[in-house]
Structures are given as C-alpha cells and as structure tokens.
C-alpha cells in the first residue's frame, strides 16, 4: 500500500494525520491484509494519538472524500474531526441520520409502521395502567364483558350521531372499535385531540368488537423526569430560519446579533453573557432556497443557491470562533424535504464545511452538549418543525388556543405522543425499516425547533421547549398561510440554572 493510499484509508476512517506524522510514514508502509486490523496496528494507533487539526490538511482531506462522493464516509470524517480532535468542544452527535439510497417499496412502509408501533408500544408498557395489556385479537375473542387494556395505532376517527367519539385502532393482531363517551368530559376533551396513526393505550370494558374507554394513555414524558443542572457556566443560543437570499432577510438585525456576540454592543452584563455563550444552534432554513413555492424568485435578492449558502457562511464566519455551532437543515434548504433530512453534504452546501467550529447534523437529530467530569451533558432534540403546519390545522386545542402563535402547544402535543410527526400525512418521510427516526425514543433535556418564525419558550415535564424565531420579515406567502412572524428574537438558555430568556435584536 502506498503512502497516499494509506492516508486515504485513514481519512476514510476519520483519522487525519498532522503533516509531521505523515512525513514519518515511509513510502511503502507494510499493512495487515485484513483491513479490520488496521486499527489494531499499534504503530498506527500511536500515530493517530498525535493527530492535531491542521486546517490545510483538513481541506485536502475534505476534498478527497468529496471526490469519492460517499456522503457517509464524508460525514463520519467531519463528525470525527469535530468530536475527537476538539475535545474541549463538548458537542457530541448522539443521533444524526444519513441518507439511505435504496429504492423504497410498499413493504418498507409496512415495516416502518411496525417498527414505529413497537417503539411506542415499548414506551407505553412502562405505564402501570397498561401492565396487563392484551392483544386486540384476544379482546375480540372474549365472550364476557370485563376490564381490558389494549395498545393500538389509530386507524380511523369519527363522531357518532349521538356526539360520542368512535375510533378504530389496530395492532399486529387485529383491529377494534373504541368508544369515548361524551359523558366523561375530561377524557372526551383529551380524546378530541387524538390524530390518525398515533399510538395510544386504552383501558376500558369490552363489548362486541368494541372497547368502551374509561381511560386513554399516551406514551408521554413521565412525571418523574428530572431537571438536570450543570455546575459549569455557559449559555446556549437558538436561531432558525435565516432565509438568506430573501428580499426580506433582516441583515441589519442579524448584524446587531453578531455585534453582541462579539461583545461590541450591549451593557456590561449583556457583554458578560455574550462572553459565556458556548453553543449556537441553527435549526434549518439557512437560506431562502430557490423554487420552494410558486413565484418565489420575486421574493429573492440572491437567486443562486450557491450564492445564498456562500452568503450564509460569510455571516457565520463573523461569529466568534469559541462558539460551537450546530446546524441542521429545514424545508427551504437544498436537500430532500422528506424526513429525516440528511446532513448537508451536496454540491450547493459544501461551503458549510469550511466553518471549522461547526457540527452539521440531520433534521431531526440529537446532540449532547456541555459534559464535564461529573455531568452527563444535556441532550438536545433538534427538529426544524415541518410537521407543525398539519397540527395547527387539524388539532382543535392547538388551533383554538393560538395556532401558529403557540409553538409550545405543538411541541407538548408531539412530546406527549413521543413522535415528531405522528400522522402519516403530516410530513414527508423516508421509511426506515430498522427504526423510525421521528420517534422520540429518549427524553431530551431541551426540545428545540424553528419553522414557524415566532419564538416561544416553555417547559413540559422538565423538558425545556424552545421555538427559535427567524431573520426574515413577514412575506406575502406567510401572510397567506397564517403565520405571524416575530423576527430577530433569540432564545438564550443558561446552562447552569436552566433559565431561558428571549433576546431581541429587532428595532
Ligand atoms: Fe421552515
């Protein structure tokens, strides 16, 4: 194996060698035949310990991997660089989903729903009330009326002539009707919010092909969920929906934000906070995009996608280098809209990878930040929020209490269901057959979103909820779809106290 091949192989495994180490490798380094043994070769391990970031080499390595056009190797490499080579960075990617390229068949959707059902059923089994759950086929076979509990996916929902709610729910063994009587007002009110395809637990009494519900249970966040706190000072900021390239991009407001981050503006207290900002999350829609909606070109000042991303990168380069940026895509970005949206790796967005203090992940993703010797760090669930539109339009309790103005209600609704888009039609998605990336498997400390252009902060069972605002003035399109943007606001989380504030950079 030649020196060049060796370096290439190491790069593929995310190992980047400093130039002096490269110099020490002879032109024809003998290597074990079994590639798996490569890691076990002590010499190489020793060498890899001496790795240090050299940005010139980084660029070369990036270009090399890019040429190979292997997005997985490329991302592994980038994440390795950011996690391992900058240990002080304290940003760990817990979940980020790569593109899966195989052709999708109907069977894949069935498998996808099966794995989703199993994951949510597992969470529901933790509920004491559902310990004695029976399969739907067994309930159907019962002759006597007795207390039963089942777990099912909602297939159908309707109101009966008498005004009660009738659902059809299914599990892998069969389907059954569930009646929620309006005489149980609390239950009836909650059940009105049930949406298609969500997975719920029902306890009640069986009849012929029916369960009369006494209680409905959601996977939800347990009441016992702890509020973690770190001893270490630091702040995290959440921004979203810059829509760079839009004629409504609020560049002056964004400049004010950057000036504050650089401690060029603000009073002493505000500057002191800026000096302790350690993480900046950017939750998608970095650019306005091209052709996202009809006649969008009329709303653009930058009509070229490359130029939009270059402009975004130029703005980010003004952000102090000690702040770690974590970036995920949104529906305006130059990627597939179907979720999970993979991390940015294509031609249009390659300039993002020239930002050295940046971790690029999928949408959704889970990131762990701020670990220390005696603190496990905070897990942040990132989701741009494309499914939100559906729930604003279809869930009475959200629509009647403010709709788009209440991102916190949408976020609570989704956490209760432990799924970012429970209804099949609420977002476009790629069926994954081993696990459903939109299931909220682990309970996050912070759930952060964007998309609806209005900041909101709240708390739900010790999960901090953050909706980031935007940097785009109200467009005609938003007016048409009922958004009420409040741009240039930035939620700030104190990582020591968990206190959240919203900073304003608009006039
Ligand atoms: Fe969006």
Give the CB-side neighbour count of residue 158, counting CA atoms within 13 A: 7
Query: Ligand 1 centroid vs 208 CA: distance in angstroms?
Result: 46
For residue 474, CA distances in Å to 202, 408, 454 come to 43, 21, 11
pLDDT band at residue 71 under the 50/70/90 scheme: low
Peptide bond into 340 cis (omega under 30): yes
Rounded to an integer, what distance in angstroms lies between the CA atom of residue 275 and that of residue 234? 9
Query: Ligand 1 centroid vs 2 CA: distance in angstroms?
Result: 47
Q: Is the pLDDT of residue 503 over 60?
A: yes
Query: Ligand 1 centroid vs 234 CA: distance in angstroms?
Result: 28
| Domain boundaries, given as residue ranges, for the chain | 3-85, 127-217, 235-504
pLDDT of residue 20: 55
pLDDT of residue 480: 77
Q: Bigger pLDDT: 492 or 49?
A: 492
pLDDT band at residue 354 under the 50/70/90 scheme: confident
Query: Ligand 1 centroid vs 385 CA: distance in angstroms?
Result: 7
pLDDT of residue 350: 84
pLDDT band at residue 19 under the 50/70/90 scheme: low
What is the phi/psi pair of residue 367, to 5°?
Answer: -120, 140
Contacts of 503 (CB under 8 A, 6+ apart): 260, 489, 490, 491, 492
Query: Ligand 1 centroid vs 86 CA: distance in angstroms?
Result: 31
Q: Is the pLDDT of residue 456 over 50?
A: yes
Local structure of residue 347 (DSSP, 8 states): T
pLDDT of residue 6: 67
Query: Ligand 1 centroid vs 387 CA: distance in angstroms?
Result: 10
DSSP for 226-284, written as a single string = -----SS--EEEEE----BTBTTB-HHHHHHHHHHHTTSSS-HHHHHHHHTEEEEEE-S
Query: Ligand 1 centroid vs 65 CA: distance in angstroms?
Result: 30
CATH topology of domain 127-217: OB fold (Dihydrolipoamide Acetyltransferase, E2P) (2.40.50)
Query: Ligand 1 centroid vs 280 CA: distance in angstroms?
Result: 18
pLDDT in tens, 117-165: 999 999 999 888 898 899 999 999 999 999 999 999 999 999 999 999 9
For residue 291, CA distances in Å to 222, 298, 389 come to 43, 10, 20
Query: Ligand 1 centroid vs 471 CA: distance in angstroms?
Result: 12
Query: Ligand 1 centroid vs 242 CA: distance in angstroms?
Result: 10
Query: Ligand 1 centroid vs 388 CA: distance in angstroms?
Result: 10
Local structure of residue 102 (DSSP, 8 states): S
pLDDT of residue 29: 47
Q: Is the pLDDT of residue 38 over 60?
A: no
Query: Ligand 1 centroid vs 236 CA: distance in angstroms?
Result: 21
pLDDT in tens, 416-431: 999 999 999 999 998 9
Q: Bigger pLDDT: 204 or 11?
A: 204
pLDDT band at residue 36 under the 50/70/90 scheme: very low
pLDDT of residue 134: 95
Whole-model pTM: value is 0.85
Query: Ligand 1 centroid vs 348 CA: distance in angstroms?
Result: 18
pLDDT of residue 79: 61
pLDDT in tens, 79-107: 655 555 555 558 899 999 987 766 788 88
Query: Ligand 1 centroid vs 415 CA: distance in angstroms?
Result: 20
86 burial level (CB within 10 Å; 0-12, 13-18, 19+)? middle
pLDDT of residue 43: 43
Q: Average pLDDT of 194-223?
A: 96
Residue listed under structure tokens 């004010």: 256
Rounded to an integer, what distance in angstroms lies between the CA atom of residue 386 and that of residue 331? 7
CATH topology of domain 235-504: Purple Acid Phosphatase; chain A, domain 2 (3.60.21)
For residue 193, CA distances in Å to 62, 173, 383, 451, 504 come to 48, 25, 22, 22, 34
Query: Ligand 1 centroid vs 453 CA: distance in angstroms?
Result: 8
Residue listed under structure tokens 């309790």: 397
449 burial level (CB within 10 Å; 0-12, 13-18, 19+)? buried
Rounded to an integer, what distance in angstroms lies between the CA atom of residue 394 and that of residue 416? 16
Q: Average pLDDT of 13-23?
A: 60
Query: Ligand 1 centroid vs 7 CA: distance in angstroms?
Result: 40
Q: Average pLDDT of 239-252?
A: 96
């Amino acid at each position: 194996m030649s020196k060049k091949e060796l370096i290439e192989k190491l790069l593929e495994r995310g190992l980047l060698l400093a130039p002096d180490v490269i110099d020490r490798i002879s032109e024809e380094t003998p290597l074990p035949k079994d590639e798996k043994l490569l890691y076990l070769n002590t010499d190489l391990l020793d060498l890899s310990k001496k790795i240090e970031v050299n940005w010139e080499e980084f660029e070369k390595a990036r270009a090399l991997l890019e040429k190979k056009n292997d997005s997985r190797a490329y991302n592994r490499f980038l994440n390795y660089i950011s996690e391992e080579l900058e240990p002080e960075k304290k940003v760990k990617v817990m979940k980020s989903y790569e593109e899966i390229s195989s052709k999708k068949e109907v069977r894949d959707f069935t498998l996808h729903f099966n794995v989703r059902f199993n994951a949510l059923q597992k969470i529901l089994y933790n509920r004491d009330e559902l310990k004695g759950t029976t399969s739907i086929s067994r309930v159907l076979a019962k002759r006597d009326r007795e207390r039963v509990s089942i777990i099912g996916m909602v297939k159908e929902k309707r109101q009966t002539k008498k005004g009660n709610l009738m659902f059809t729910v299914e599990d892998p063994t069969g389907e059954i009707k569930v009646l929620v009587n309006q005489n149980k007002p609390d239950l009836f009110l909650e059940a009105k919010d049930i949406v298609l395809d969500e997975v719920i637990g029902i306890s009640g009494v069986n009849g012929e092909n029916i369960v009369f519900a006494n209680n409905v249970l959601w996977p939800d966040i347990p009441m016992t969920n702890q509020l973690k706190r770190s001893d270490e000072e630091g702040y995290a900021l959440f921004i979203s929906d810059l829509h760079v390239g839009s004629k409504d991009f609020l560049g002056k407001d964004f400049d004010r934000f950057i000036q504050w981050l650089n401690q060029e503006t603000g009073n002493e207290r505000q500057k002191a906070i800026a000096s302790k900002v350690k993480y900046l999350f950017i939750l998608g829609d970095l650019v306005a995009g091209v052709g996202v909606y009809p006649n969008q070109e009329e709303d653009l000042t930058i009509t070229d996608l490359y130029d939009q991303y270059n402009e975004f990168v130029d703005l980010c380069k003004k952000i102090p280098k000690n702040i770690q940026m974590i970036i995920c895509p949104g529906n305006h970005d130059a990627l597939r809209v179907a979720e999970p949206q993979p991390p940015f790796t294509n031609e249009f967005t390659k300039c993002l990878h020239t930002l050295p203090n940046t971790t690029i992940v999928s949408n959704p993703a889970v990131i762990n930040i701020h670990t220390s010797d005696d603190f496990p760090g905070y897990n942040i669930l990132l989701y741009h929020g494309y499914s939100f539109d559906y729930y604003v339009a279809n869930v009475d309790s959200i629509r009647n209490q403010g709709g788009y103005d209440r991102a916190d209600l949408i976020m609570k609704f989704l956490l209760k269901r432990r799924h970012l888009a429970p209804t099949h039609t609420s977002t476009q998605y790629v069926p994954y057959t081993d696990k459903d990336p939109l299931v909220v498997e682990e309970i996050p400390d912070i759930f952060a979103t964007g998309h609806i252009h209005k900041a909101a902060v709240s708390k739900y069972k010790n999960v901090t909820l953050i909706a980031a605002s935007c940097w785009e003035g109200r467009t005609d399109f938003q007016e048409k779809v009922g958004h009420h943007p409040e741009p240039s606001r930035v939620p700030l989380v104190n990582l020591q106290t968990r206190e959240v504030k919203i900073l304003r950079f608009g006039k």
